[in-house]
């Protein structure tokens, strides 16, 4: 009798475990956790052995994982239902920022809502692809040219608001995530090429609209030595860090650039330089491979998604994730201008961690919920 | 309109996904080529840059601005001295190194304890002080033994010092070592770079509120260093810009006079110039030695200050809240005249108590049997309670709240330092929001004589007194009068900040002011303190209740524990015809305003207006006609 009870207990635990994990993609989660561990290790070194910062980040990770779990357990039908409200709230908050936002570092990005300060542009990173996918899904059967125009407007308005804050980095990333939805929704090649041409042609206009500090970043990229104490300092120091790492790196906690405080923002946007200095080209190779594996898994999930809505969302999230990695590494290694973009899953900071894992939660939800077949 | 075919659409989507994959692979390859270029092709170049001829950017810390009183007396200054510093990452065994160092440099257990705490809070590569202010012999002996101690160095540093300690600690505040919370704050404000070499930041008082002015701008030195990190030569140098000096409106002599007049008693005094809101004296007793906090306070001193029953760290003038007691009456009286509830001619018979219609409870006057026939003038001079009980009942709490609110009671005054508290001027809406209870008529009666829910800070009372003195002009109180640019020496005046002007009828104000003058004349509650004054001295006494006296009991000072005795209050200004100074004074646990608080005000005025330095604490003044209003 006793043993019978025991097996029953065992079954119950298994059942609970099953219900707990059935919407989690084990493969994806494993590699996400590997990357996070690497991130914590680099953070420990980057902060000069400050365990407090590592603890903070661990808390950020736990919070983000819980959110990911909640989203993964939400079906796409439910997510689709909240796409419009979330977008409208995000848009209202962005307008709120433009009117009553608080100014830090000369940019108006924060909105004080009584209990806490929030940065609505962060919410839009998820809300815009959701909204655009919802829109295309709604008009899927009767897609006309003017629907693309409608979708573009949904994208352009918030992007312009963010650009005005000014937050060029976030605006460009959000514009990219929206563009990916348009791309997967079948925007014709002629228009894409036309847009690229238009973009190239409007560069001088954009240059005219830029703030001084943004222009300086571009100029500095072309010739970092021109301003070694100001904006060029970041690029010079991070190039030295990466370059001096060589093939095998200087070893964990032994990067001189890092430990002697030459690197700026070494636990947030420039954490990749710390990694590169201490683990060398071998480390970089492994890191790129880890990211590629995660991206590969996301591509598989995207290719198998059943509805138009799921496909567009999954495709956009995957390519946006890649874009973050590319822009961050490109900036740290000196081939892109310095825009404040964190390295996904590695940089110190709760907000980007949460945004990333919400994205992965959506992918897991797409993959693990029963496929909805349209007849 | 074109209808889309599902399978073909899916096919199209997958082709686009394939294009996406190619896009990703191409861009990753570009990144990889860049890494290969930096880490393989250019490795030697960058390694050389990193290891051999490293260019380091060293911060040059600016000197912190000085703080002076209005006559140029130094309240916060800097001095440079030699400090013994240790870089933990370069020292394998800190404990034994400290033991060896102790052989020729004095290191007390307190120093050790503070240093170990510092290590825990700081980065391993930072140089941390173990001893400040080394003397010549210590420097010489260490120099000859230096080779034995890698990672230990003598550095010349600039230190902060507050020469007047307790006397101005609640004004000046202090700086202390930058902690994680400060770093977060600096990061949020994008000031981290400007604090690269700084070790200290203002934590409280003027040092905190004027941090931006005082800190200055950090300079940078670009130096070429060898493999060991020693600098070989300086390539370029951007000099730091010292912080600006602050010239306060505070009169240090007056501050000292207040200190002397208080003696060992606890309390607070705030004196303002009614013509512009300048703070002339700002005392909270007891003070504390703010120098203790600069290098990080040790346990022993911290416990002593923090656990003391006298609470020296508590800034009573800015953050202490007390019922205003009878100092509330002039504001009530003006409300009565302005709102037409009383005329100057009106008088009533005072039987010594007041009862609400149909209620037995008696609100008693402080004087058994009452004051006889009382008009508005007399009600202030003798501080009659009954007059105000009945007036409060006629005005109602919300009229009181709205009218007296114009004097800034229950609100932050807008003083130029942080952490001010707002106190409380009750209203029916407040009670509903706070206690979910309706306002009772009885609540109004005790509120009418400044007790009940009323809570004010000494600063607020001084502010309100200033407005009576200057005819309704609400100047924001301020400590800093001028800012001196450290580079050019140029002095910028900070203009007075008139927040608003309350519209009172001059003839009503005149009635109140005349009564306040008579308070300090024979027959008034502050008659002794006003005796033989060489200027016209206007004021109002008050008593702030600490413990509630039950119905039917009498307040007996001698039977009550000293800390539960009432606080003495006094508000005053002088000379009455053209006021130069307005103040509020509070003396804790000494009973009545007329006997202890008013004499302090007198001494302060004598100093400020006539230049007479007060004698040591004088308790001989005892006024028997003094009120003891505890019936509420």
pLDDT tens digits along A195-241: 888 877 877 777 777 777 667 767 766 666 665 555 567 788 888 88
| Interface contact flag, A280 B39, Cβ < 8 Å | yes
B209 is catalytic: no
Query: Of B322, B295, B304, B288, whose CA–CA distance to B170 is shortest?
Result: B288
Distance CA B297, CA B305 (A): 10
| CATH superfamily of this structure's domain B252-298+321-610 | DD-peptidase/beta-lactamase superfamily (3.40.710.10)
Residue B51: predicted pLDDT: 66
Residue A228: predicted pLDDT: 56
Higher pLDDT, B558 or B183: B183
Cα distances from A112 to residues A91, A102, A355, B108, B458, in angstroms, run: 16, 7, 20, 48, 33
Q: Which of A33-37, A93-97, A213-217, B594-598 has the lowest mean pLDDT?
A: A213-217
Residue B554: predicted pLDDT: 57
| Interface contact flag, B190 A240, Cβ < 8 Å | no
Chain Cα centroid distance, residue A356: 5
Express each pLDDT in B445-454 by its tens digit: 999 999 989 9
Chain B residues closer than 8 Å to A259 by CB: 125
Chain A residues closer than 8 Å to B39 by CB: 242-243, 245-247, 276, 280-281, 284
Name the catalytic one among B198, B326, B427, B486. B326
Residues pairing with B587 in the sheet:
B267, B568
| Interface contact flag, B47 A246, Cβ < 8 Å | yes
Closest to A333 (Cβ–Cβ): which among B16, B34, B188? B34
Question: Tokens standing for B365?
Answer: 């006057």
Is pLDDT above 70 for A193? yes
Closest to B38 (Cβ–Cβ): which among A259, A330, A333? A333
Is pLDDT above 80 for A375? no
Distance CA A232, CA A221 (A): 7
Percentage of chain B lying above the pLDDT 70 cut = 91
Express each pLDDT in B363-378 by its tens digit: 888 888 888 899 999 9
Question: Tokens standing for A213?
Answer: 């500090």
Percentage of chain B lying above the pLDDT 90 cut = 53
Express each pLDDT in B210-267 by its tens digit: 999 999 998 888 777 655 556 667 877 888 999 999 999 999 999 999 999 998 899 9
CA distance to partner chain B, nearest, from residue A106 (Å): 9
- Per-window interface: A 31-50 vs B, CB < 8 A: 47-50
Under DSSP, the state recorded for B92 is S
User: B395 burial class (0-12, 13-18, 19+ CB within 10 angstroms)?
Assistant: buried
pTM of the model: 0.65
Residues pairing with B631 in the sheet:
none
Q: Which residue of B has its CA nearest to A183?
A: B16
Strands B491-493 and B480-484, by their bridges, are: antiparallel
Judged by DSSP in three states, A349 sits in coil
Question: Is A276 in the B-facing interface, judged by CB distances under 8 Å?
Answer: yes
Residue A162: predicted pLDDT: 87
Express each pLDDT in B297-335 by its tens digit: 878 888 889 888 889 999 999 999 999 999 999 999 999
Express each pLDDT in A269-285 by its tens digit: 889 999 999 999 999 99
Express each pLDDT in B372-427 by its tens digit: 899 999 999 999 999 999 999 999 999 999 999 999 999 999 999 999 999 999 99
Residue A113: predicted pLDDT: 61
Residue B623: predicted pLDDT: 42
Chain B residues closer than 8 Å to A311 by CB: 13
Chain B residues closer than 8 Å to A262 by CB: 54, 56-57
Q: Which residue of B has its CA nearest to A187?
A: B16
Q: Where are the domains of chain B?
A: 57-137+152-248, 252-298+321-610
What CATH number belongs to B57-137+152-248? 3.90.1310.10
Task: Provide DSSP, B554-621.
Answer: ---GGGS-GGGSPEEEEEEEESTTS-SEEEEEEETTS--IIIIIHHHHHHHHIIIII-PPPPS-----
Q: What's the whole-number mean pLDDT along residues B357-368?
A: 85
Distance CA B198, CA B582 (A): 40
Q: Which residue of A has its CA nearest to B40?
A: A246
End-to-end CA distance of chain B: 86
- Per-window interface: A 119-148 vs B, CB < 8 A: 140-144
Percentage of chain A lying above the pLDDT 90 cut = 41
Is pLDDT above 90 for A300? yes
Q: Kindly provide the ipTM of the predicted complex, given to two decimals.
A: 0.90
Q: What's the whole-number mean pLDDT along residues A145-169?
A: 85
- Per-window interface: B 323-382 vs A, CB < 8 A: none
Q: What's the whole-number mean pLDDT along residues B465-481?
A: 95
- Per-window interface: A 212-271 vs B, CB < 8 A: 228-229, 233, 239-247, 256-257, 259-262
How many other CB atoms are there within 10 angstroms of residue B33's CB atom?
Answer: 12
Confidence at B1, pLDDT banded by 50, 70, 90: very low
- Looking at every residue in chain B, the average pLDDT score rounds to 86
| Interface contact flag, B190 A330, Cβ < 8 Å | no
Cα distances from B321 to residues B288, B409, B546, B567, B572, in angstroms, run: 20, 11, 11, 12, 19
Helix A350-368 to helix A308-332 angle, to the nearest 10 degrees?
Answer: 150
- Looking at every residue in chain A, the average pLDDT score rounds to 84
User: A160-180: buried (b, 16+ CB within 10 Å) or exposed (e) per residue?
Assistant: ebbbebbbbbbbbbbbbbbbb
| Interface contact flag, A186 B13, Cβ < 8 Å | yes
């Amino acid at each position: 009798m006793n043993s019978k009870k025991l097996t029953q207990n065992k079954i119950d635990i298994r059942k609970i475990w099953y219900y707990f994990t059935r919407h989690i993609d084990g493969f994806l989660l494993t590699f996400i956790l590997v990357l996070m561990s690497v991130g914590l290790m680099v953070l420990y070194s980057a902060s000069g052995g400050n365990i407090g910062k590592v603890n903070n980040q661990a808390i950020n990770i736990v919070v983000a994982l819980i959110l990911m779990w909640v989203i993964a357990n939400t079906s796409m039908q439910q997510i689709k239902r909240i796409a419009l409200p979330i977008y409208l709230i995000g848009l209202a908050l962005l307008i709120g920022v433009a009117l009553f936002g608080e100014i830090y570092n000369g940019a108006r990005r924060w909105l004080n809502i009584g209990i806490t300060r929030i940065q609505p542009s962060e919410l839009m990173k998820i809300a815009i692809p959701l909204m655009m996918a919802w829109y295309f899904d709604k008009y899927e059967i009767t897609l006309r040219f003017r629907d693309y125009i409608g979708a573009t407007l949904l994208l352009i308005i918030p992007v312009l608001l963010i650009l005005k804050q000014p937050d060029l980095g976030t605006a460009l990333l959000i514009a990219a995530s929206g563009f990916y939805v348009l791309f997967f929704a079948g925007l014709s090649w002629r228009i894409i090429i036309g847009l690229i041409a238009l973009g190239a042609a409007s560069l001088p206009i954009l240059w005219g609209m830029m703030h001084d500090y943004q222009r300086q970043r571009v100029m500095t990229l072309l010739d970092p030595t021109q301003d070694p104490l100001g904006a060029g300092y970041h690029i010079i120091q991070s190039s030295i860090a990466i370059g001096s790492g060589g093939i095998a790196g200087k070893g964990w906690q032994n990067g001189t650039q890092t430990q002697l405080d030459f690197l700026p923002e070494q636990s947030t946007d420039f954490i990749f330089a710390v990694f590169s200095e201490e683990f060398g080209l071998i480390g970089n190779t492994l890191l790129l491979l880890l990211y590629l594996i995660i991206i590969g898994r996301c591509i598989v999930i995207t290719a198998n998604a059943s509805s138009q809505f799921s496909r567009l969302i999954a495709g956009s999230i995957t390519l946006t994730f890649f874009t973050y990695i590319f822009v961050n590494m490109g900036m740290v290694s000196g081939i892109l201008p310095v825009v404040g973009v964190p390295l996904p899953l590695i940089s110190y900071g709760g907000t980007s961690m949460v945004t990333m894992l919400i994205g992965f939660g959506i992918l897991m939800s797409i993959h693990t919920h029963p496929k909805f077949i349209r007849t | 309109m074109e209808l889309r075919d599902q399978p073909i659409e899916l096919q199209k989507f997958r082709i686009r996904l394939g294009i996406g994959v190619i896009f990703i692979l191409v861009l990753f390859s570009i990144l990889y080529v860049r890494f290969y270029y930096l880490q393989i092709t250019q490795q030697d170049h960058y390694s050389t840059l990193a290891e051999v001829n490293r260019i380091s950017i060293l911060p040059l810390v600016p000197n912190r601005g000085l703080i002076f009183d209005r006559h140029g007396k130094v309240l916060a200054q800097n001095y440079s001295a030699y400090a013994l510093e240790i870089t933990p990452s370069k020292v394998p065994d800190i404990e034994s190194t400290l033991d060896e160092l102790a052989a020729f440099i004095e290191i007390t257990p307190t120093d050790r304890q503070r240093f170990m705490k510092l290590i825990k809070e700081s980065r391993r590569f930072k140089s941390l002080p173990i001893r400040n202010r080394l003397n010549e012999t210590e420097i010489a002996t260490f120099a000859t033994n230096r080779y034995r101690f890698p990672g230990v160095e003598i550095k010349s540093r600039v230190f902060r010092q507050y020469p007047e300690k307790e006397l101005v600690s609640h004004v000046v505040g202090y700086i202390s070592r930058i902690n994680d919370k400060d770093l977060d704050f600096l990061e949020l404000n994008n000031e981290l770079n400007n604090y690269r070499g700084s070790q200290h930041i203002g934590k409280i008082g003027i040092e905190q509120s004027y941090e931006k002015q005082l800190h200055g701008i950090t300079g940078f030195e670009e130096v070429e260093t060898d493999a060991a990190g020693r600098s070989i030569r300086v390539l370029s140098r951007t000099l730091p810009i010292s912080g600006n000096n602050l010239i306060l409106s505070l009169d240090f002599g007056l501050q000292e006079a207040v200190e002397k007049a208080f003696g060992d008693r606890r309390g607070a005094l705030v004196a303002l110039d009614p013509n512009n809101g300048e703070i002339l004296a700002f005392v909270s007793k007891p003070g504390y030695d703010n120098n203790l906090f600069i290098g990080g306070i040790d346990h022993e001193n911290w416990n002593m200050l923090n656990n003391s029953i006298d609470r020296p760290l508590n800034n009573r003038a800015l953050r202490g809240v007390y019922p205003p007691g009878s100092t509330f009456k002039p504001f009530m009286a003006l409300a009565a005249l302005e709102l037409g509830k009383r005329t100057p001619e009106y008088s009533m018979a005072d039987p010594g108590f007041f009862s609400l219609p149909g209620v037995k409870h008696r609100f008693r006057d402080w004087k058994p049997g009452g004051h006889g026939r009382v008009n508005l003038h007399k009600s202030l001079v003798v501080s009659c309670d009954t007059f105000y009980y009945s007036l409060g009942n006629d005005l109602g709490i919300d009229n009181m709240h709205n009218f007296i609110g114009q004097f800034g009671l229950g609100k932050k005054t807008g003083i130029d330092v942080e952490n001010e508290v707002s106190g409380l001027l009750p209203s029916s809406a407040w009670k509903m929001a706070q206690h979910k209870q309706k306002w009772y008529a009885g609540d109004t009666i005790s509120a009418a004589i400044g007790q009940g829910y009323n809570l004010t800070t000494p600063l607020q009372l001084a502010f309100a007194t200033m407005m009576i003195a200057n005819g309704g002009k609400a100047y924001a109180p301020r400590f800093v009068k001028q800012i001196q640019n450290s580079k050019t020496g140029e002095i910028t005046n900070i203009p007075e900040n008139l927040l608003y002007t309350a519209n009172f009828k001059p003839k009503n104000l005149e009635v109140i002011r005349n009564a306040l003058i008579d308070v300090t004349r024979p027959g008034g509650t502050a008659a002794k303190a006003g005796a033989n004054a060489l200027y016209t001295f206007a004021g109002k006494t008050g008593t702030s209740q600490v413990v509630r006296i039950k119905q039917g009991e009498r307040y007996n000072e001698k039977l009550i524990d000293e800390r539960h005795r009432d606080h003495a209050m006094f508000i005053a200004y002088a000379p009455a015809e053209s006021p130069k100074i307005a103040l509020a004074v509070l003396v804790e646990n000494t009973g009545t305003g007329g006997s202890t608080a008013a004499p302090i005000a007198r001494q302060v005025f004598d100093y400020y207006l006539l230049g007479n330095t007060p004698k040591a604490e004088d308790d001989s003044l005892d006024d028997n006609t003094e009120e003891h209003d505890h019936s509420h």
